Amino acid sequence: MNKIKKKKIFFISGSRSEYGQFSLLLKKLSTTKKINFKLIITGMHLYEKFGKTYKEAIKDQIKIYKRIKIDSNVDNDFTIPNSFSLTVKKFTGFLIKEKPDLVILPGDRYEILAVAISCFFQNIPVVHFYGGDTSLGSQDEFFRNSISNIAKYHFVSHNLAKKKIIKKNDILKKFIFNYGALSLDNINKSQFFTKKIVEKKIDINLNFKTILLTYHPITVDQKVNRKEIDILLKSLKKLKNINIVFTYPNNDKGHDYIINRIQNFCKTNSKKYKFYKSLGRKLYFSLIQYSKLIIGNSSSLLYEVPYLRRYSLNVGLRQKGRIFGNTVVNISSDKKDISNIIYKYLKKDNPKQVTNPYYVKNSTKKILNKLFKIIENI
């Protein structure tokens, strides 16, 4: 009697934020015997400049099936167009050879769009996570919408996102599922480092109030990008006896300027100011718990930080259009000094009543069950 061939399912990850959100789901998929699951790593994951974050998968004992390197660590006008075309070329060849039954694509990065296009021309069905979101201060808005146009199946993080996709194509209604943000399920099932271990790993005294900060480029306007980070650092310089831990921006255009400015800032007080390429998921979440305030324009300020009951100061344009819980404070890029706002929230008690529009209980389990049903029917 012939064995039934297992469906070959690919998951593509190109950045630390993608992997961090999906780590729990990936562990489940990599250990199930129902499918032939493969993790493919590309993009920022593979570069020393951004911390070689593919090592997170190795720590999680998830086998990496293939590493596909693209030129994504140089910051100039040609990098993303060249990297995009190279990604299409490399993944097209890879997909023709491998012939997966389904490809799972997370988020809104340009390299993920390139993979989606490769899938489109090979008629490979795509599952897309987190379409329907809005972030008007980033080119990711275009990438995300384009991936949604290619994908057949959609997992969204809130009901407004579901309505947005349906508005574009009503036929997709039965293929759109809202099970919230997976990263919150990751936190719920995570064990964190103790304060002492965090202090040792980061080389900082957490008895002082601590700010955790991640700032990514504003890709729709480089002038605004430079203006925002300069104002932010100028405001932070006015704070006294405060620790500030920075993490690297992503590889969007304008990242070198941000890195250089933060490096120079940290040189002025190496005991209080720290700058890390990547903290890793567990250390990052642990540090949030021991920080007083989280600042920047990363999506983690909207998802994970409220779940851990800390205030977020969302700076500038990048996340414009997103939905926010009650602990996220939006700061306009028009402000020339935000030190008073920072001081205000450093003095506040941590929030007790938190609304988080991205939370759905047991999201990993619900998504996993739905994925298996999709896979059975392809």
List, for residues 254-299, the tens digit of each pLDDT value: 999 999 999 999 999 999 999 999 999 999 999 999 999 999 999 9
Q: Measure the CA–CA gap between 115 and 95, rounded to whole angstroms.
A: 9
What is the rounded radius of gyration, in angstroms, for the C-alpha atoms of the chain? 20
- Residue 340 pLDDT > 60: yes
Asked if residues 308 and 289 have their Cβ atoms less than 8 Å apart, the reply is yes
pLDDT digits (tens, 9 = 90+) for 207-226: 999 999 999 999 888 888 89
Alpha-carbon distance values, 182 to 23, 185, 228, 243, 318 (Å): 9, 5, 30, 30, 22
Q: Measure the CA–CA gap between 24 and 45, rounded to whole angstroms.
A: 18
Q: What is the pLDDT of residue 2?
A: 55
Lowest mean pLDDT among 111-115, 192-196, 336-340, 367-371: 336-340
> Mean pLDDT, to the nearest integer, of 150-165?
96
pLDDT band at 169 (very low <50, low <70, confident <90, very high): confident
Closest CA to 31 of 378, 364, 284, 376: 364
Q: Are strands 176-178 and 210-214 parallel, antiparallel or unpaired?
A: unpaired
pLDDT digits (tens, 9 = 90+) for 35-75: 999 999 999 999 999 999 999 999 999 999 999 999 776 67
Which of helix, strand or coil describes residue 72? coil
Task: Give the rounded percent of residues in the chain with a pLDDT score beyond 70.
Answer: 99
Q: Measure the CA–CA gap between 209 and 223, rounded to whole angstroms.
A: 32
- Residue 235 pLDDT > 90: yes
Q: Tokens at residue 348, please?
A: 């506040």
Quote the pTM value. 0.93
Closest CA to 70 of 106, 45, 39, 33: 45
Q: For the chain, which domains are there? A: 8-180+360-376 (3.40.50.2000), 195-347 (3.40.50.2000)
Q: What is the pLDDT of residue 189?
A: 72
Q: Tokens at residue 137, please?
A: 């201060």
Alpha-carbon distance values, 166 to 23, 25, 173 (Å): 28, 26, 6
- Residue 329 pLDDT > 90: yes
CB atoms within 10 A of CB 226: 16
Placement of tokens 């103790």 in the chain: 194
Q: Tokens at residue 85, please?
A: 């075309």
Asked if residues 84 and 116 have their Cβ atoms less than 8 Å apart, the reply is no
Q: Tokens at residue 14, please?
A: 């190109």
